[in-house]
Amino acid sequence: MEIATRLHGIGEYYFSQKLREIDELNKQGKNVINLGIGSPDLPPHPDVIKILQEESNRPDVHAYQGYKGSPVLRTAMSTWYKTWYNVDLDPGTEILPLIGSKEGIMHICMTYINEGDNALVPNPGYPTYRAAVQLAGGNCLEYELKEENNYEPDFDALSKIDLRSTKLMWVNYPQMPTGRLPGKNLFDKLVAFGKEKEILICHDNPYSFILNEDPASLLSVKGAKDCVIELNSLSKSHNMAGWRVGMLCGAKERIDEVIRFKSNMDSGMFLPVQLAAAKALGLDKNWHDGLNRVYKTRREKVFELLDSLDCKYARQQAGLFVWAKINRRFKDCYDCSDYILHNCNVFITPGAIFGSAGEKYIRVSLCSKEEKLEEAKQRIINNY
């Protein structure tokens, strides 16, 4: 059976392949320490789990749910945006709960991109942006993010490109994989660029609470709703990656447009999960401070690990990872990652999976306990 042409050029997700290789090594007794994927290893708040348990015991919560989600959850999301980002969102019209924000990337591309349309995607950037654009029949216009420019778009370079067939621009700050926070005026520049070029700016914002004292939303810029939609998630900020709870925020018109596609793809989220997510969104600063204390300690361990590899890195990085430049001993990031995997039994993500601009970089996850990071460091010291 021949596969659909839309899958030509779309490979299996890198981590899906790599996990199989690691599994084979573990079967050989290698006991690989996986510092690749950013899947939080800490649990949600106990009260969140309690709500899920209690609500799941009710007999009246197991039916299909509304396509726009529970009003309780949408109200909690609206309050969360006002509390933390100072952004006003109408819970009835400007918020769409998602079964994880990753599905929202696909929904957006399928809603707006026609065959042959272009979308701007960051290099380096989250691989799903590129895959979703291509699956929707669009073309990816890469814009390179450079370390010397704080991994921000070069608007002068972008202004010289023919963007008349460009529908979307994918952006992500705090930036993944580089961990860089947006500069003071970046969000204003993005909104101005979107309005000038009549491009929908799609901001993916799941990392704003991790190792960051000042969570920010692109929607906080005056007039942003004219050209911006924003994805957010509880996966990283509330240790709920497997729960699959995200949100799409923006003008009523954009929400109505996306739901035309989404409502044909699923039948809503399990209500107890929604109610538990609403509880999570009401957690106070103590929750985030406690989480960040853990990640800050782990980040110091990762810095030590990277020092043992003679890598260069910025100490001020947000999010669940540390992005680092490899030393000249290695030909490229794959050479570095494979050497560490097969000689030290430690897996570190090669930066080029996020785009060609990541060829000389690696990315280390903070989602392992301090003792495990120390063990990984010692393995590298002993076998490097």
The predicted pLDDT at position 37 comes to 82
CATH 3.40.640.10 is held by the domain 60-281? yes
Please give the model's pTM, rounded to 2 decimal places: 0.94
Q: For residue 25, what pLDDT is reported?
A: 86
221-244 tens-digit pLDDT: 999 999 999 999 999 999 999 999
* pLDDT tens, position by position, 314-365: 999 999 999 999 998 999 999 999 999 999 999 999 999 999 999 999 999 9
123: left (phi over 0), alpha (psi -120 to 50) or beta: beta
Q: Measured at the alpha carbon of residue 304, what is the angle toward residues 298 and 308, in degrees to the nearest 5?
A: 145
pLDDT (average), residues 106-120? 97
**210 CB contacts (<8 Å, ≥6 apart)?**
174, 236, 237, 291, 292, 295, 318, 319, 320
pLDDT-based confidence at residue 297 (cuts at 50, 70, 90): very high
pLDDT at 373 over 90: yes
- Mean pLDDT in residue range 164-175: 97
Between CA 105 and CA 94 the distance in angstroms is: 17
> Dihedrals φ, ψ of 110, to 5°?
-70, -25
pLDDT of residue 308: 95
Confidence at residue 12, expressed as pLDDT on a 0 to 100 scale:
72
Domain boundaries, the chain: 5-43+286-383, 60-281
Output the pLDDT for position 14: 75
Q: How confident is the model at residue 383 (pLDDT cuts 50, 70, 90)?
A: confident
> Count H helices, E strands: the chain?
12, 12
Q: Count the Cβ atoms, other than its own, within 10 Å of residue 324.
A: 27
Enter the DSSP assignment of 114: P
Domain boundaries 5-43+286-383, CATH class:
alpha beta
Where does the pLDDT of residue 10 fall: very low under 50, low under 70, confident under 90, or very high at 90 and above? confident
- Indicate the average pLDDT of the chain: 95
Task: Calculate the alpha carbon distances from 141 to 118, 119, 239 in Å.
Answer: 6, 6, 33
Res. 251 pLDDT band, cuts 50 70 90: very high
The predicted pLDDT at position 212 comes to 96
* % of the chain beyond a pLDDT of 70: 100
Q: Would the pLDDT of 292 be above 90?
A: yes
Residues 52-63: what's their mean pLDDT?
96
- Give the pLDDT of residue 21: 84
Place of tokens 């621009």: 169
- Please tell me the distance from the alpha carbon of residue 293 to that of residue 79, in angstroms, as a whole number: 25
